Amino acid sequence: EAQVTQNPRYLITVTGKKLTVTCSQNMNHEYMSWYRQDPGLGLRQIYYSMNVEVTDKGDVPEGYKVSRKEKRNFPLILESPSPNQTSLYFCASRRYSGTNTGELFFGEGSRLTVL
């Protein structure tokens, strides 16, 4: 089954404690992206990656890092989480070649609370 898998789905942590949210897709997609969803703000892109070892900032990258060492994985790293990073995070992927339809496939979401 084609899917984007995120872990953990729920996490409560404290300010300053480094954490990583993993994302893995099994569709051999070149493009992967992280979004955060906040009430009244919709979804905003944090980082994206066109392919292995190619990453770039989205609209709200501050406080986040990413890496793309393998095509299937795109972890989101919060080096020193702060309460304003409390949010619902979505990883997404799509093909990025030829007749790219632009349709994003989303993971189930990771709800992060930073105390």
Part in contact with other proteins (CB under 8 A); list of ranges 10-18, 65-73, 74-82, 104-112: 104-112
Residue 37 class from Cβ within 10 Å (0-12 exposed, 13-18 middle, 19+ buried)? Answer: middle
Does 75 engage in binding with other proteins (CB under 8 A)? no
Rule CB under 8 A: choose which of 40, 62, 69, 97 binds other proteins: 40
Phi, then psi, of 85 in degrees rounded to 5: -95, 5
Part in contact with other proteins (CB under 8 A); list of ranges 19-27, 68-76, 77-85, 100-108: 100-108
Instruction: Compare residues 56 and 79 and give the one whose CB is closer to other proteins.
Output: 56
Task: Report the C-alpha dihedral over residues 95, 97, 61, 43, rounded to 10 degrees.
Answer: -50
Does 2 engage in binding with other proteins (CB under 8 A)? no
Task: List, as one string, the DSSP characters of 5-39.
Answer: EEE-SEEEE-TT--EEEEEEESS--SEEEEEEEET
Tokens 């992927």, located at residue: 93
Rule CB under 8 A: choose which of 19, 22, 58, 65 binds other proteins: 58
> Applying CB under 8 A, which residues contact other proteins?
4, 33, 35, 40-45, 48, 50, 56, 58-59, 90, 92, 101-104, 106-109
